[in-house]
Chains A and B, each alone.
Chain A
Amino acid sequence: MRTGYDLELVHLTKRYGDTLAVRDLNHVFVKGSYVCLLGPSGCGKSSTLRMIAGHEDVSEGSIVLDGQEVSNLPPAQRGTAMMFQNYALFPHLSVRDNVAFSLRMKGVDKAARHARAGELLELVDMTHLADRLPAQLSGGQQQRVALARALVTQPKVLLLDEPLSALDPFLRIRMRTELKKLQRELGITFIHVTHGQDEALALADEIVVMNNAVIEQAGPARAVWASPRTEFVARFIGGHNVLALSGGKATVRADAVTLAEQGLPATVLAVEYQGASVAVTSKLETGDEVLALLPEDQFFKAPKSPGDAVRLAWDDRRLHRLEA
């Protein structure tokens, strides 16, 4: 699988004074993949991204891109480009000049850099607004401009720092479709930092779950979701119930839990209608809370309310043992 054009983190460590933000990270990002760094705030995912980008010094370890150690290079010489959380568009420059900024820094003449900026604006479908100032654009439009500006340098790796968090939910879903489409067309590596598991699942070829400065689990989106390695991953990625069984903890997927005649007795705590399914949260006698995702038609054949006694059942083959 290794091609030599991968991005590799080797014993990457980041310290701020005494606090360890990133501890001894080792990971290979496969070329041309869409990778999501997923984790709660303060888990070190942003620090990792900023170290790859070159906006944060590496305390220990190295970053290797394309067979070259880049951790001491300035950001622009690494072959990476970053898209900032708040887009960081230059407010005094027009959309076209924003996109052409890096070319201007390189001394490319006006006609050539405007032509190149035009191509990128075409790519993100913003040609008609090229003369506007950033303040005159909506959030989604600003994001496209930021994307065009990052791509104009022809990076090998595009780094996205929570790119969708500033958008409203509808736009977020639309933009993530566009991000994925763009990544597939360009064929370059996207590394996308997010704390939203739905975003990660929707976009990523590979998910890297981080917590407390280390990688908890990394792998293809389906693999991570289907078999979380640790309790943290199971809880963070959602849709799983963590149960304390004899001989360690195990998870069972919420959609594998059913309400049955026989099974573990429990009391319903909350019922949430979600359209296609109904989420029923109930409490076992052991104190564990279990979420059951029931198909809508099944639930409404025998609807339950909070406080009702139910029995929960699942196929034991669908239990997944956790390592930690």
Chain B
Amino acid sequence: MASRLTGNRHVLGWIQALPLTVVLVGFLIAPIAMIVAVSFWGATEFSIYPAFQFDNYEFLFSSPVTYRVFGATLKYALITWALTLVIGFTVAYFLAFHVRSLTMQIALFLICTIPFWTSNIIRMISWIPFLGRNGIANQTLISWGVIDEPLEWLLYSDFSVILAFVHLYTLFMVVPIFNTMMRIDKSLLEAARDNGASGFQTLVHVIIPLTKPGIMIGTIFVVTLVMGDFITVRFMSGSQRANVGRLISNDIGLLQYPSAAATAVVLLCTVLIVIATLLRFVNIRKEL
């Protein structure tokens, strides 16, 4: 009887795990397996054919363009990460420690999410009339007499790309950091003060160490989003800058699926290596 029961429970467990397994296999494992498989296929100008060859990777790793584009992608990720971290940490700190009432915290937090009520693309495009050659920013600066000529680097430049990234993704940094900060026992801050720590010392020795898991989760969000992005770079650079996402999208546009798949695999590996490195530094398990 007992063995039948445990046997049943065993089967029951598998049945309960089945829906998630199906979803994960169907929508995560299978597509990735497909991409990996296609990355070894061959291609000519007008056809692609199943094969197992390393031509795509060989071409990718021998081309200086690849390194430049991966370099640019990492540069975008790094700069965006640094800016979103500073802004996100500051906003979260303000919300968690300066705003006293919970109602106010929730209200301000919801205000932070307002930009998310419109789509990414609209939020990006709305920068263009602002930053353009005769846009609001340039006109205002000229009317104030700060500059004589319109600034050319405001739009269709690294500046505008990173600006859009920061605008789009800062909230992904705010949310996990805010969440971690809210879990910090307020009496720890009093204890630090009682032990003679200044505000800055409390920040460095208590708040930042205890906020690390949140920072790490936010970092993973921002880094993966920026590294996988292609549309922001295309719109905000006026197609003058490239990142890995654009490399892939160009290949797809030219129906070079094997080459696109190979680039995607290399990008995936790069992102995974970055995340694995980050996770070695901070244990995020207790946050999950």
Contacts and interface: CB of A to CB of B under 8 A. Distances in A.
A81 interface: yes
Interface string A24-67: 00000000000000000000000000000111000000000000
B58 interface: no
* Secondary structure dominating the interface of B: helix
B187 A76 contact: no
A102 interface: yes
B96 to A, nearest CB: 17
Interface stretch (A4-12, A85-93, A239-247): A85-93
A53 B210 contact: no
A55 B210 contact: no
A86 B193 contact: no
Contacts, number: 61
A268 B112 CA distance: 66
Residue among B185, B191, B206, B210 with the highest chain A CB neighbour number at 10 A: B191
B42 to A, nearest CB: 54
Nearest to B189: A88
Interface in B177-193: 185, 187-188, 190-193
Contacts of B195: 76, 101-102, 105, 149, 153
B209 to A, nearest CB: 5
B196 interface: yes
Contacts of A101: 192, 195, 197, 205
Contacts of B197: 76, 101-102, 105
B240 interface: no
Interface residues of B, number: 17
Interface string B200-218: 0100011001100000000
B210 A92 contact: yes
Contacts of B45: none
Contacts of A55: 190, 193-194
A291 interface: no
Interface residues of A, number: 25
B196 A76 contact: yes
Contacts of B194: 53-55, 75-76, 81-82, 150
Nearest to A97: B205
A189 B284 CA distance: 43
A106 interface: yes
B196 A90 contact: no
Contacts of A150: 194
Nearest to B186: A88
Contact of B190 (A84, A102, A105): A84
Contacts of B193: 54-55, 74-76
Contacts of A114: none
A112 to B, nearest CB: 16
A105 B196 contact: yes
Contacts of B206: 90
Contacts of A102: 195-197
Contacts of A92: 209-210
B189 to A, nearest CB: 9
Nearest to A149: B195
A104 interface: yes
A82 B189 CA distance: 13
A54 B193 CA distance: 9
Interface in B148-201: 185, 187-188, 190-198, 201
Q: Which of B187, B196, B197, B206 has the most CB of A within 10 A?
A: B196
Contacts of A74: 193
A88 B196 contact: no
26 contacts: A53-B194, A55-B193, A74-B193, A75-B196, A76-B195, A76-B196, A82-B191, A82-B194, A84-B187, A86-B185, A86-B187, A88-B188, A90-B191, A90-B206, A91-B210, A101-B195, A101-B197, A102-B196, A105-B192, A105-B196, A105-B197, A105-B201, A105-B205, A106-B196, A149-B191, A153-B195
| 4 shortest interchain CB distances as A-B pairs | A76-B196, A102-B195, A88-B191, A88-B187
Given A88-B185, A102-B195, A105-B205, 19 more contacts: A55-B194, A75-B194, A75-B196, A76-B195, A76-B196, A82-B190, A82-B194, A85-B187, A90-B192, A90-B206, A92-B209, A102-B196, A102-B197, A104-B205, A105-B197, A105-B198, A149-B191, A149-B195, A150-B194
